[in-house]
Amino acid sequence: MKIDLNNLTIQKAHDHLVKGDFSAVELAEAYLSEISKKNKDINAYLEIYEDVKKQAEEADKMIKAGKGRILTGIPLALKDNILRKGNIASCASKILANYHATYDSTAIAKLKKEGVVFLGRTNMDEFAMGSSTQNSAYGVTKNPHDMSRVPGGSSGGAAAAVSMNGALAALGTDTGGSVRQPASFCGLVGLKPTYGSISRHGIIAMGSSLDQIGPITKTVTDNEILWKALRGKDIFDGTTISEDTYPKLPLHGKKKPIVGIPYSFMNQGIDKEVMKNFEESVRKLKSLGYEIEDISLPNIGYSLAVYYVLMPAEVSSNLARFDGVKYGLHAEGKNLIEDYVKTRAQGFGPETRRRVILGTYVLSHGYADAYYNKANQVKALLQSDFEKVYKKVDLVLTPTTPTPAFKIGEKTDDPVQMYLADIFTVTANIVGGPALTVPSGFLEVQGKKLPLGIQFTAPNGREDLLFAVGKEFLGE
């Protein structure tokens, strides 16, 4: 049968594979064909793995032997900071251009057991630092909906790969919105799970207290399938949690979750058309029987400032290991210190250097109390705000982004404007709870339909609420 990539989901693909309508090899070849047609223009993939056909053949054997699972034979794209043994993981940086992973990340090890077919590694902002995938050492990724615009970041290549039918789903990482923002810009579903629910082992770290792997998919159901396969405790990651860590308390609503909206936080800086789409989404939720409440989060206005103190501080520490001594780029100097300076100056791009310098500054003697420690205090206030709100409502709703996808190059000269693209997404990473973006419509600009999204945030461990409301909103 002809494979309809536009309407294919994980569940549909699984059913077809089990019935024998097509094989895993044929499915992988269908995606490889799309990649060969589109990737040279979009630049979603940095590399297609050489063993794709071999992986698919193994998946077909599993299915024929009756050992196939729902993810067996499903073609997946991987962000370039997730380790797959034997393959390059460069973080889209020159400093790791030829680094080959010596082991599988826990996420990859789990999916290998499921029989997933990994297609290749996707472009990203260098070391996951950015909201546009313009900071890659290997060129800009373009949005498949409008090639003059960004796909979002830092998991822009992963989102673009799914959006252009270059993969059925993808894995990204989310430190301040890096799964949700590109998913929204590309018309997809993206999840930032509860901190600790998915192992970070084998992920090249950016901000260790904020990073989480998240799936990027076409449907909420597909997202849930991947999340269930990835979650769970891991002996290699001490921050991981068991499935029953957080109690599932009764809903505040009689039949459905009560949805809270912090309107006072949304009275400026949002594109008028984005706000109009958001209000239409709220009306749709009301028509579906959801109760909507205006809520107050007194300290949410500080969330972006807190994030841009804590994240660079952790970046400064995590990237100290990349010195060219044991692996990666090495530049010769007159002595060891000059080796370090030359290697890091040549290996890191401008945005990475900016954040390393900023993080080193906020951790330095005399400034740590004024900046880093103060930011941690406000982080605790934000967590307390959300705990209080969740005693009244079950979910918090905002737009995913304040604007639709912006033009390539539009914000590169103004880092602060670029950082503001994360205003609605960083909070979930700071407080640790899960957040899900779902498509909410389109905005037509210059003859192009640009996707928009809304974001639901839930208490720790309540991904089930996110998936339930997301499915109902999209009519799955």
Q: Among 179-183, 343-347, 414-418, 442-446, which stretch is predicted with the lowest mean pLDDT?
A: 414-418
Find the helix or strand (DSSP H, E) in which 308 lies: helix 303-318
CA distance 122 to 110: 20
Q: What is the CA radius of gyration of the chain?
A: 21
pLDDT computed for residue 336 by the predictor? 87
pLDDT computed for residue 421 by the predictor? 87
Under the banding of pLDDT at 50, 70 and 90, the label for residue 50 is very high
What's the rounded mean pLDDT across residues 368-394?
96
Return the active site residues. 79, 154, 178
The DSSP secondary structure of 86-155, one letter per residue, reads: TSB--TT-GGGTTPBPSS--HHHHHHHHHT-EEEEEE--SGGG--SSS-S-TT----BTTBTTB---SSS
Hey, how many other C-beta atoms are within 10 angstroms of the C-beta on 336? 10
Four-CA torsion 370, 375, 377, 378, nearest 10 degrees: 130
Q: Give the domain range for residue 424.
A: 1-476
Whether the upstream peptide bond of residue 316 has omega within 30° of 0, thus cis, is no
CB 279 within 8 A of CB 270: no
CA distance 280 to 6: 26
Angle (nearest 5°) at CA 201 between 327 and 309: 85
Q: Among 57-61, 225-229, 265-269, 443-447, which stretch is predicted with the lowest mean pLDDT?
A: 265-269
CB 101 within 8 A of CB 59: no
Q: Helices (H) and strands (E) in the chain — how many of each?
A: 15, 11
The DSSP secondary structure of 377-401, one letter per residue, reads: HHHHHHHHHHHHHTTT-SEEEEES-
pLDDT computed for residue 1 by the predictor? 84
Using DSSP's 3-state secondary structure scheme, residue 46 falls into strand
Tell me how long the chain is: 476
Digit-coded pLDDT (tens) for 324-347? 888 888 988 899 889 888 999 999
Model confidence at 292: pLDDT above 90 = yes
What's the rounded mean pLDDT across residues 135-139?
97
pLDDT computed for residue 325 by the predictor? 87
Model confidence at 384: pLDDT above 90 = yes
What's the rounded mean pLDDT across residues 86-100?
96
CATH number for position 231? 3.90.1300.10
What's the rounded mean pLDDT across residues 359-386?
95
Digit-coded pLDDT (tens) for 296-323? 999 999 999 999 999 999 999 999 999 9
CA distance 361 to 372: 10
What's the rounded mean pLDDT across residues 386-391?
97
CA distance 246 to 228: 16
Q: Scan for tokens 């972006």, then name that residue.
A: 304
pLDDT computed for residue 174 by the predictor? 98
Digit-coded pLDDT (tens) for 68-79? 999 999 999 999
Average pLDDT, the chain: 96
Digit-coded pLDDT (tens) for 237-264? 999 999 989 988 899 998 999 999 999 9
CB 428 within 8 A of CB 457: yes
Contacts of 233 (CB under 8 A, 6+ apart): 240, 241, 242
pTM of the predicted model over 0.85: yes
What's the rounded mean pLDDT across residues 46-67?
97
pLDDT computed for residue 473 by the predictor? 98
The total number of structural domains that make up the chain:
1
Model confidence at 179: pLDDT above 90 = yes
